[in-house]
């Protein structure tokens, strides 16, 4: 047993990078990121995926792929990138770019599951994920609509939330992939409070904000305009804000969803709790483009992701931008540095 005097050596702050769906731009943006010395220097990275897919992409796009193999039984080098094979090798064809399906979904899923195992085992502090294809995942038999809920399951996490971190704006979502007509009835004061608490904890621990000022957006136009435009702002959002304040959180709202993001980016708040998908993401993506990073809160480890899809229409053409992947890696490394 380690005594308090013989302090254990600091764990290497390694991060896993997943391949994404190999029929999309995942392998390309991972290769481009690895080719950027600023992205790799001083960091310990484990690229997780299928070597045949990376090798094929490397040849097609003429971007080198020279990582040496690493297995979880081996010691992890303190710096530089290594490769971890996630799928049983040699038994599958390499999916063609732009042709997602059960095969590409299976390879993408293997990478996510292997990266989660590395994180659960403490070998990596977190993972940065390349985009997957929901339909291909479904064909491969994965019963999740996306990474977020799936990783919560793989890590045994009870509560989780989706945060978007741009350069100017941080937003967390109270509901995610919910049809608009169901949003009002899916929102509960307890759910909004939980997301607010997760966001508060993340701001303090991962983003270095000492006393986060949190804005909670309303559900209805003008946050319900005193009930004239819907009741949920008074009956659901306001009680959540009151409970958050009773817990000592510096939470404010419900604030009108059209202006609250502007107020945050002008400095009034450190983060906005948005009530639903497009309210949050129309603001974030209009302002930040693909620079915004998707962060999963509530997991026992770090998880960041690009804020875009597999872009099958341009897969294999070498024109995908790795800006989002780079931003996701940089943010994960920044968060890891604070843990």
12 binds its own copies (CB under 8 A): no
287 binds its own copies (CB under 8 A): yes
Binding positions for its own copies, 116-135, rule CB under 8 A: 134
244 binds its own copies (CB under 8 A): no
Candidate list 38, 141, 225, 338; residue touching its own copies; CB under 8 A: 225
167 binds its own copies (CB under 8 A): no
150 binds its own copies (CB under 8 A): no
183 binds its own copies (CB under 8 A): yes
139 binds its own copies (CB under 8 A): no
Candidate list 156, 179, 248, 267; residue touching its own copies; CB under 8 A: 179
CB of 99 to its own copies, least distance (A): 18
Q: What is the 3-state secondary structure (H, E, C) of the chain?
A: CCCCCCCCCCCCCCEEEECCCCCCCHHHHHHHHHCCHHHHCCCEEEEEECHHHHHHHHHHHCCCCCCCECCCCCCCCCCEEEEEECCCCCCCCCCCCCCCCHHHHHHHHHHHHHHHHHHHCCCCCEEEECCCCHHHHHHCCCCCCCHHHHHHHHCCCCCCEEEEECCCCEEEECCCCCCHHHHHHHCCHHHHHHHHHHHHHHHHHCCCCCCCEEEEECCCHHHHCCCCCCCHHHHHHHHHHHHHHHCCCEEEEEECCCCHHHHHHCCCCCEEEECCHHHHHHHHHHHHHHHCEEEEECCCCEEEECCCCCCHHHCCCCCCCCHHHHHHHHHHHHHHHCC
Candidate list 74, 228, 247, 319; residue touching its own copies; CB under 8 A: 228
Q: Which is nearer to its own copies, 261 or 301 (CB)?
A: 261
If we measure between CA atoms, which residue out of 130, 82, 173 comes closest to residue 329? 130
181 binds its own copies (CB under 8 A): yes
Site pattern 194..223 for its own copies (x: CB under 8 A): -------------------------xxxx-
261 binds its own copies (CB under 8 A): yes
CB of 291 to its own copies, least distance (A): 11
Q: Which is nearer to its own copies, 156 or 179 (CB)?
A: 179
The answer to whether the CB of 325 falls within 8 A of the CB of 130 is yes
186 binds its own copies (CB under 8 A): no
262 binds its own copies (CB under 8 A): yes
Distance, in Å, from the CA atom of 150 to the CA atom of 146, rounded to the nearest integer, reads: 7
224 binds its own copies (CB under 8 A): yes
77 binds its own copies (CB under 8 A): no
Rounded to whole angstroms, the maximal C-alpha distance in the chain is 64
Q: Which is nearer to its own copies, 99 or 285 (CB)?
A: 285
Stretch in the footprint of its own copies (CB under 8 A) among 12-20, 282-290, 297-305, 311-319: 282-290
Binding site for its own copies (CB under 8 A): 134, 145, 169, 176-185, 219-222, 224-225, 228-232, 257-259, 261-262, 265, 276-287, 289
């Amino acid at each position: 047993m380690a005594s308090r005097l013989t302090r254990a050596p600091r764990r290497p702050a390694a991060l896993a990078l997943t391949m994404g769906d190999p029929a999309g731009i995942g392998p390309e943006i991972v290769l481009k990121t690895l080719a950027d010395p600023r992205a790799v220097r001083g960091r310990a990275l484990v690229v997780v995926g299928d070597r045949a897919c990376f090798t094929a992409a490397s040849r097609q796009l003429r971007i080198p792929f020279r990582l040496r193999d690493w297995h979880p039984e081996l010691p992890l080098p303190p710096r530089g990138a290594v490769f971890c094979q996630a799928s049983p090798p040699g038994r599958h064809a390499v999916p063609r770019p732009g042709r997602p399906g059960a095969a590409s979904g299976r390879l993408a899923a293997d990478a996510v599951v292997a990266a989660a195992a590395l994180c659960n085992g403490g070998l990596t502090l977190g993972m940065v994920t390349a985009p997957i294809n929901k339909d291909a995942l479904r064909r491969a038999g994965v019963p999740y609509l996306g990474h977020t809920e799936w990783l919560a399951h793989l890590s045994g996490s009870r509560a989780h939330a989706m945060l978007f971190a741009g350069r100017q704006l941080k937003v967390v979502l109270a509901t995610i992939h919910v049809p608009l007509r169901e949003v009002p009835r899916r929102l509960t004061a307890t759910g909004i409070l939980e997301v607010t608490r997760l966001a508060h904890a993340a701001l303090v621990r991962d983003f270095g904000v000492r006393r986060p000022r949190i804005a909670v957006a309303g559900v209805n136009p003008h946050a319900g305009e005193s009930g004239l435009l819907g009741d949920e702002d008074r009956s659901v959002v306001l009680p959540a804000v009151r409970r958050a304040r009773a817990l000592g959180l510096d939470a404010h709202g419900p604030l009108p969803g059209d202006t609250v993001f502007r107020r945050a980016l002008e400095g009034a708040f450190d983060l906005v709790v948005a009530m639903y998908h497009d309210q949050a993401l129309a603001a974030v993506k209009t302002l930040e483009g693909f620079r915004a990073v998707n962060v999963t809160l509530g997991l026992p480890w770090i998880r960041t992701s690009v804020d875009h899809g597999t872009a099958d229409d341009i897969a294999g053409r070498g024109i995908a931008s790795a800006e989002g992947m780079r931003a996701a890696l940089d943010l994960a490394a920044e968060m890891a540095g604070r843990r």
